[in-house]
Structure formats: structure tokens, C-alpha cells
Amino acid sequence: MNPLIQQFKKYGYLNEVIAEEVEKRTRYFFKKKGEHFLREGQHLSSYFVLSTGLIRAYFLKNGREMNSWFGEENQIFGSILPVYTEKPSFENIQFLEDSEIYAISVDDLNELYRIYPELNLIGRKIAEEVCIVLEERIMSLHTESAAERYQSLIRLQPNLINRINLGHIASYLGITQETLSRIRR
Amino acid sequence: MNPLIQQFKKYGYLNEVIAEEVEKRTRYFFKKKGEHFLREGQHLSSYFVLSTGLIRAYFLKNGREMNSWFGEENQIFGSILPVYTEKPSFENIQFLEDSEIYAISVDDLNELYRIYPELNLIGRKIAEEVCIVLEERIMSLHTESAAERYQSLIRLQPNLINRINLGHIASYLGITQETLSRIRR
DNA sequence: ATACGATTTTGATATAAGTCAAAAAAAGCC
DNA sequence: GGCTTTTTTTGACTTATATCAAAATCGTAT
């Protein structure tokens, strides 16, 4: 059973028939550190899971890279936004470590939603859980100082601190790396 | 057909049977300006729509009110978070104008999801659309200056500026009202 | 061990936004 | 219309964080 199906099963019952259909449409990739999964402008939406590795999503703002999120092993994530807006993605997705990735395209997934409507239960719960994560991030950006945001990150994703360099973390927090260095001290 | 059902129908097909069941479970309220719909600590999750009126969600941070969002007519919104975390809501919801509100409790909705699994399609699309709105807010808080965030608000919800006082808007933007007053000038 | 590039820290200064206090303007109310 | 309360603006000063420059440290390949 591939890791993507394992993730789906966390959110609701997935019968054998549907699991088999997801399996058929799942693609496996091995990518080396530094490679990109998605580049800005490509319109390749998908949900995916890493069995090993680490990933970041970033976009360009005034020519500067800004990290929007990091992903570790056994979390489900994806770029959903472009699917609905029909705009090309402004998001870049890059591997920060050698990674094994299992992905299903949103086109394939939409086909499965159509054929097996009960799969929408899982899709709904995933989206609702994403909402909660996004709300926490909003709270953090809205109300916390730079130092507090750093503490929140440590609380929510403690492993990241040891796997990701200071510049990337600072950009995720919306501060400069000099400021983060001073906070750490 | 109540406004809540109208909103649901924007996201996908809703047959007569299900629409009737939603109708039965919809509650109507009239609330005067200043009244609360939800207060912190109450665990009454629901989706709702205003046919007339204006609403704000806020929470307390160091004894100070911080606005997290505003809602106008014919938008669907709700406090979903507490349902999943099983924690009491930290969110307060208050009417900024006399309002007519149509609400369905999340308990009722979950019952309908169970009986009519095809309703999950609509639930999924609503949650996915909420994700997009939240992502825009994150981008704004993450990358923009106070003045730019004010411009973004004007772009996304232009009516609010005329209906909501400066203090509330400043708190939503994460700045003081003195700063917003200076930005406006 | 040495040397190289990448990453992190430190220092000096600049800027955006906050704080506190008060005045001005607008909105409600009898 | 005049009075009170709320909202918005203005001013002086403070603080958090950014910027620019340089030094120190770390990681890794030779």
C-alpha cells in the first residue's frame, strides 16, 4: 500500500476498489536535493506524500525567494490553489534533501471524485484539516512578534529547525536572517 | 429556498431531497448591531449566511480584541476549527449591523454528510475555497507592508471600508489605528 | 590538515510601525 | 441646536526589525 493511500485512510474509510484505483494513478519519483518538483508557471496540480525527504514551497517577491511552507515525511500536501483559479501556479516546489515522493494529479483525483462520490468525504476532511493549519499560520503572522513566531514554529514543526538552514526559516517567518540569528542567541 | 441552500448550490448539485433536509435544519435569527452570535468558550459550530447585515470574528490577545475576519451578505462562513480540535472556540462572533442570519449546526451537517454522502462534494468544495481565501490572507500578512495590506483589503473586500470603522480595520490588518489613519492620508 | 564556499553571527545605522497623549471631527441623542 | 460620546487625526518619542557591511564559523572535498 503506497504512502498516499495510507494518508487517505487516516481521514476516512477507503474501500479496496477505490484504493486500487488510487494505486493505479499514483506516480513515484526519486529526486535529489536541489531539484524542483514544480516550477512557477507550470500548471501541474497534485497531492503528494514524501516517504523520505524534505520539501519547501516558495514564491518570488521583488526578485527574492519567500518560503511559504515546508513538508516532511508522511504528511499530505499539494498545491490546490491553481486548480480552482485556473491561473498558472506562482508557487515553486523544491527538494531540500534527497526525497522519495508519491503523487496523484488533481485531474486524476477529480476523475475519482466523479466516479466514486464517497471519496469526497476524504477530500473534504483533508481540505478542512488544511484550513486549520492555515488558520494557525494566520494567527501567528497576525498577532505574534518575530521571536514568538519562531517559538510557534518550533512547537508545530520541531524537526525542521535541525534540517533547514537559517535563511530558509527566516524567510518562512517573514524576517531577515540577521534578525533570526539574533533571536536565537 | 433559504440563502444557505442557495450558497450550497453554488458548489455542486443538490437534489430536492437533500435540499429539503437542509431546509429543515436551518435556523433563522435576527440580531441587532452589537449582539453576539458566538462567544468565546461556547462550542456551537455552524455554517451560516447573512441575507442582510455585517459580522466580525475576533479573539482576545493580551486583553485586546483582534479581528480575524469580516463577513458580508451572501457569503458562506463558519467556525469550523473547534469541531476538529474538540477545544472550545476561542473565537467571538459579533454583528456590526442589524443582521438576518441563516445557520446550520455542524452536528446537523455531519448527520447529513453521513446519510447523504454525495453532500461531501459540496463540503469539499467549500473547504477548498476557504483554503484559497486563507492562503491569500497568509500571503498578505507574510509579504506585505501595512500600506500594501490595506490596499489588498480594498481590492478583495471593497465594501468593507465604508461599513467598518478604522479601529476594526486596523486590528484586522494587524496594525494600530493611528498607523492606519496615517496610511489613509 | 588545508582551503574553499556556504552559512551564521556581529556591528552600526536606518526605517516602519508602535505607544502615549491630546486635539479635532463626526455621530448620536435629548 | 447644543451636549455627550465615539471615532479619527495629529504630534512627539520609542521600539522592533531591516539594511548593509564585514567577520567568524561550519562543512566538505582535496
Q: Which of residues 135-174 of A touch strand D (CB under 7 A)?
A: 145-147, 174
Domain boundaries, chain B: 3-118
Residue A94, CA distances (Å) to A33, A40, A157, B52, B129 in order: 8, 11, 18, 46, 25
Q: Residue B37 phi/psi, 5° resolution?
A: -95, -45
Mean pLDDT of A9-26: 97
Instruction: Tell me which chain B residues have a C-beta less than 8 angstroms from the C-beta of A128.
Output: 80, 84, 127
Q: Calculate the CA B183 to chain-centre distance.
A: 27
Confidence of residue A88 (pLDDT cuts 50, 70, 90): low
Measured over all CA atoms, what is the biggest interatomic distance in chain A, rounded to whole angstroms?
Answer: 55
Mean pLDDT of A15-30: 96
Position B45 scores a pLDDT of 80
Other CB atoms within a 10 A radius of the CB of residue B132 amount to: 16
- Checking if the pLDDT of B1 tops 90, the result is no
**Percent of chain A whose pLDDT exceeds 70:** 91
- Checking if the pLDDT of A85 tops 90, the result is no
Which bases of chain D come closer than 7 Å to a protein CB?
7-12, 16-21
State the sign of the Cα–Cα–Cα–Cα dihedral A12, A13, A18, A19: positive
Mean pLDDT of A128-139: 93
Q: Calculate the CA A60 to chain-centre distance.
A: 17
What is the dotted CATH code of the domain comprising A3-117? Answer: 2.60.120.10
- Checking if the pLDDT of A38 tops 80, the result is no
Position A79 scores a pLDDT of 72
Instruction: Tell me which chain A residues have a C-beta less than 8 angstroms from the C-beta of B129.
Output: 84
The secondary structure element, H or E, covering residue B86 is none
B92-95 and B55-61 as β-strands: parallel, antiparallel, unpaired? antiparallel
Domain spanning B3-118, CATH class: mainly beta
Position B39 scores a pLDDT of 67
Rounded distance in angstroms from the CA atom of residue A178 to the C1' atom of nucleotide D24: 14
Asked if residue A101 lies in contact with residue A46, where contact means CB atoms within 8 angstroms, the answer is: no
Confidence of residue B137 (pLDDT cuts 50, 70, 90): very high
- Checking if the pLDDT of A81 tops 90, the result is no
Confidence of residue B125 (pLDDT cuts 50, 70, 90): very high
Residue A71, CA distances (Å) to A59, A123, B179 in order: 15, 19, 36
Least confident of A38-52, A91-105, B46-60, B123-137: A38-52
- Checking if the pLDDT of B5 tops 80, the result is yes
Position B87 scores a pLDDT of 54
